Amino acid sequence: MSNNPQYEKIWKVVQLIPQGKVASYGQVADLAGLPGRARLAGKCLGYVPKDGINGKPVPWFRVLRSSGQLAFPLGSDSFERQRSLLMDDGIFVKGKSVSIKQYGWKPDLGEILFLLDN
């Protein structure tokens, strides 16, 4: 499962999200070359290796719903964990969501393609 090639593509894309920015499950899936598989993106983030991959961490907490909401139920342990990590990142979590206008990641396609090939 954690050696699923599709998972690895998704994790690599997530590693490109800069600190202080957030992306949606669907956006990550698209960039990983897996359009229409937002749910898969969410699922595999639950299997992120604790020590990251290629020696780098996988910032799973920077991935949210397209609406800006965290995917976990408000108040759950997972929710609180993600919220604090986002705050550490300098991202303000208002209620159950984050402002996409303010923190949304708008990557340069050329850059993404280059980085993913390396």
Partner DNA sequence: CGCCTGACTGAGG
Partner DNA sequence: CCCTCAGCCAGGC
Q: Which residues bind DNA (CB under 7 A)?
A: 1, 4, 6, 24-27, 36-43, 45-46, 48, 60-61, 63, 65-67, 71-72, 78, 82, 95-97
Closest approach, Cβ 91 to DNA, in A, equals 14
Measured from the CB atom, is 6 or 15 closer to DNA? 6
Judged by beta carbon, residue 76 or residue 90, the one nearer DNA is: 76
Q: DSSP letters of the chain?
A: -TT-HHHHHHHHHHHTSPTT-BEEHHHHHHHTT-TT-HHHHHHHHTT--TT-BTTB---GGGEE-TTSB-SSPTTSHHHHHHHHHHHHTT---BTTB--HHHHB----HHHHHHHHT-
